[in-house]
Structure 1
Amino acid sequence: MTVLTTERLVVRDWTADPGDLARIYDIYSRPEVIRWLGAASGLPLTDPAGAADRLAWWRERHAGHGSRYGTWAIEARATGLVVGTVLLKPLPGRDERVPTTDIEVGWHLHPDSWGHGYATEAARAVVTRELAAGTPQVWAVVAPGNAASAAVARRLGMAHVGRRTDWYGGEELDAFVLRADG
């Protein structure tokens, strides 16, 4: 299902199609991608069969959210290539089983798709939609040292508000916020 479109991208549900599962595995088995996702992420994927488990976990995590929150595929309209993932969801708190009321935007792109502005374009679309729905602010949390993701957050107009330990089990992360009121 298509969640939204931009000039160059389709943001859609990941599917159990073999092409999607292969791309999930290809993205989430790469050390250069998962190094920024934290110890609790359950990554890297080490077996292609793990892609189906990851998809099932995403579906379960977002089952009650309709299409408002999710972990979605980012597909380039010109080529049909899935370039990565964009997510919008409640941030997990210090107890990672308990979501907070803080809403997170995030992105994970395949290295063959870095440097094309896809993360910024997809994230801007989901953030714009979420703020228009009445959410007062959206957060991005970035592993310290991940300059590329920090740059995406800044391109989105997000303000760096320092390092925080409020989320993801208390992991220290650089926090960026974009408030609806400017």
Structure 2
Amino acid sequence: MTVTTTDRLILREWTDTPADLARIYDIYSRDEVMRWLGGGAGRLTEPGQAAERLAAWRQRYAPYAGRYGIWAIQVRDTDQVAGSVLLKPLPGRDGHTPTEDIEVGWHLHPDSWGHGYATEAARAVLAAEFATDTRQVYAVVAPGNERSMAVCRRLGMTHLGRRTDWYGGTEVETFLRTSP
């Protein structure tokens, strides 16, 4: 199912096809990606774990009926999946319980860095979320992740500094975008 499209991208559900599962594994097994996602604790170590990760995503976001989730960012010209874009309630200080705060995020394969895909995909999901009358959306970035902080700035997000409100109290650089 296609979630939305942009000039260059198709944002769609991840599937359990061999190509999608291989790409999930290739993205989420890489130290250069996972170092920014909770220190790499969720790094995949075996290809079979990609199907488990996809099943967990589906279960976690099923109650939201497509409003929130993690979607594949597919490049129209090549059909290659560049990575993931997500929109979801931020987990609270316990690390699990969803809060009222909404997060936009992105996880791209290194071969897709520097092409503007994260910005373009995030802009599309932000527009869809703001159309539902949501007033504000956060992005949280691991300290030192200059690439993601640059995406936040390109999205017109305001840097609020470091906070520990979510993800079990982990300190994150926090950015906010309010509804236009």
**How far apart are the structure 2 equivalents of 1:116 and 1:33?**
16
**How far apart are the structure 1 equivalents of 2:96 and 2:107?**
22
- Letter paired with 2:117: Y
**How far apart are the structure 2 equivalents of 1:111 and 1:104?**
22
Preserved contact between residue 96 and residue 167 of structure 2 (Cα < 8 Å): no
> What corresponds to 1:7 in structure 2?
7
> What corresponds to 1:151 in structure 2?
150
Q: Deviations over 1:85-108 (max 9, x none)?
A: 000000000012210000000000
**How far apart are the structure 2 equivalents of 1:2 and 1:180?**
24
**How far apart are the structure 1 equivalents of 2:12 and 2:101?**
23
- 2:127 is aligned with 1:128: yes
> What corresponds to 2:170 in structure 1?
171
CA apart distance, 1:29:
0.4
**How far apart are the structure 2 equivalents of 1:77 and 1:65?**
27
Aligned 1:71-110 pairs, distance under 5 A: 71-110=70-109
- Letter paired with 1:151: A
Structure 1 residues not aligned, in runs of 5+? none
> What corresponds to 2:31 in structure 1?
31
CA apart distance, 1:42:
4.3
**How far apart are the structure 2 equivalents of 1:112 and 1:122?**
16
CA apart distance, 1:67:
1.3
- Letter paired with 2:35: R
Preserved contact between residue 28 and residue 43 of structure 2 (Cα < 8 Å): yes
Preserved contact between residue 90 and residue 166 of structure 2 (Cα < 8 Å): yes
TM-score by length of 1: 0.97
**How far apart are the structure 2 equivalents of 1:98 and 1:28?**
23
Preserved contact between residue 22 and residue 47 of structure 2 (Cα < 8 Å): yes
Aligned residues: 180
Q: Deviations over 1:62-121 (max 9, x none)?
A: 011111111000000111000000000000000122100000000000000000000000
**How far apart are the structure 1 equivalents of 2:96 and 2:9?**
32
> What corresponds to 1:114 in structure 2?
113
Local SS of the residue matching 2:159? strand
CA apart distance, 1:38:
0.4
- Letter paired with 1:142: V
Moved over 3 A (4+): none
Structure 2 residues not aligned, in runs of 5+? none
- Letter paired with 1:50: Q
CA apart distance, 1:136:
0.6
